[in-house]
Homo-oligomer: A and B are copies of this chain.
Amino acid sequence: MIILMKLGASDAEIQAAAEVIRQRGVEPLILPGEDRAAIGIPAALTHDQKMDLESVLGAMPQVSKVTQTSRPYKLASREFHPSDTVVQVKDVQIGAGSFVVMGGPCSIESYEQFDQAAHVVRQSGATVLRGGAFKPRTSPYAFQGLAKDGLKILKEVGTKYGLVTVTEVMSPDLVPLVAEYSDILQIGARSMQNFPLLIEAGRSMKPVFLKRGPSASIDEFLLAAEYVLSQGNPDVILCERGVMPLDRGYTRNTLDISAVPVLKEYSHLPVIVDPSHGTGVARYVLPLAKAAGVVGADGVMVEMHPNPKQALSDGSQALTPDQFGELMSQVNRLVSLR
């Protein structure tokens, strides 16, 4: 942490700021400077110490600016865990250098619909099956999902086709239920800072698929992962799914493709890209999945529906079975060359 003094701060004022630091048992380093002084704190502080000091020093009249010099996350950081985390779920490895495709409909609507979707996923060679049982919807008047009945279909169909399953959990009290039926727990974008949910998902010790919030910074995203990791659960999969767009007239979100190399550099956790929510438009999913393939992501999550025109939710972004097969083949060819 660095404390920049205002121009013309007197020695007494600089010493007063230094004294605040000393009172916390830390020895400050005063940097004289040509036109103004700064004070460095060379010790490793706890989060609360940092917040406390930032608060107190920031309110002193002769302090111009307090700057945090280190990244706020630790368990999620590659510095503290240099090798890649590989999340193993049954026979699927996520983050081991291979490219994992997760497919399926937005919502589980019926056994038949989901069975057809799983059949397509299996046949195309993808290994993870997605489908929503509890749906977060912006409007209370939108379809909210089949709930527990959906979970049962998820498990039954996943087992039938030998696919790893993933579904969203929206509330901490539902974590045990969802964990019983699904191989991976998904935390949705709007729940990324639902801290009680992150803690429960962490405690479940199930792999957690964490979607980035639509306006979350990289630091906020990795701190959300940190909540899960800090419960002793090492299996977090990060998912970039688009951030707020400048122009909602064309895409629902702006896929932040630059986030992939950033996350791979600063964290050891696997990174999946969701081009379906990333754009909200089915015909942009293939080109963006290809981009994800070559930019270094560990996989993609793609919405596919046996019959998108009859989907109860998000039909406009779902691929048809044929488009899904085409995506698998094109992306695999590119990934083999990356």
A interface residues (Cβ-Cβ under 8 A, vs B): 2, 4, 6-7, 29, 31-38, 40, 42-44, 46-48, 51-52, 54-56, 58-59, 64-65, 67, 69-73, 79-80, 136-143, 170-174, 190-191, 193-197, 199, 214-220, 223, 226-227, 230, 242-247, 249-251, 253-262, 265-266, 278-279, 282-284, 287-288, 290-296, 308-309, 311-316, 333-334, 337-338
Task: Please name the residue on chain B nearest to A47 by beta carbon.
Answer: B141
Closest to A336 in B: B337
Q: How far is B289's CA from A294's CA once the two chains are assembled, in angstroms? A: 9
> Which residues of B have CB within 8 Å of A51?
142-143, 313
Our pick among B7, B67, B284 for the contact of A2 (Cβ within 8 Å) is B67
Bound-complex Cα distance A143 to B292 (A):
37
Determine the distance from Cα of A2 to Cα of B193 in the docked complex, in whole angstroms. 31
A33 and B38 contact, Cβ closer than 8 Å, known pairs A215-B214, A278-B258, A284-B262 = no
Docked-complex contact A40 and B2, CB < 8 angstroms: yes
Complex CA gap A143/B48 in Å reads 7
Interchain residue pairs A-B with the least CB separation, the first 10: A47-B141, A217-B247, A215-B215, A55-B315, A291-B291, A34-B44, A171-B196, A190-B193, A290-B294, A33-B42
Would you call A308 and B142 a contact (CB within 8 A)?
A: no
Contact B70 A69 (CB under 8 A): no
What's the Cα separation between A289 and B116 when bound, in Å? 37
Oligomeric state, in copies: 4
* A312–B56 CA distance with the chains assembled, in angstroms: 11
Measured CA separation A258–B241 after assembly (Å): 12
A171, B172: Cβ atoms under 8 Å? yes
Chain B nearest CB from A5 CB (Å) reads 10
Say yes or no: A260-B282 contact (C-beta < 8 A), given A139-B226, A215-B244.
no
> Can you name 18 A-B residue pairings with CB atoms under 8 Å?
A2-B2, A2-B38, A29-B29, A31-B40, A31-B42, A38-B40, A54-B316, A59-B308, A64-B79, A72-B139, A73-B139, A140-B195, A170-B195, A254-B256, A257-B288, A258-B284, A260-B287, A333-B337
Residues of B within 8 A of A253 (CB): 258
Q: A40-B40, A48-B143, A294-B334 are in contact. List 14 more A-B contacts (CB 8 A).
A: A34-B42, A35-B44, A51-B142, A58-B316, A59-B309, A67-B67, A136-B195, A140-B195, A174-B196, A218-B247, A255-B257, A258-B278, A258-B288, A288-B295
- Whole-angstrom distance between the alpha carbons of A92 and B257 in the complex? 29
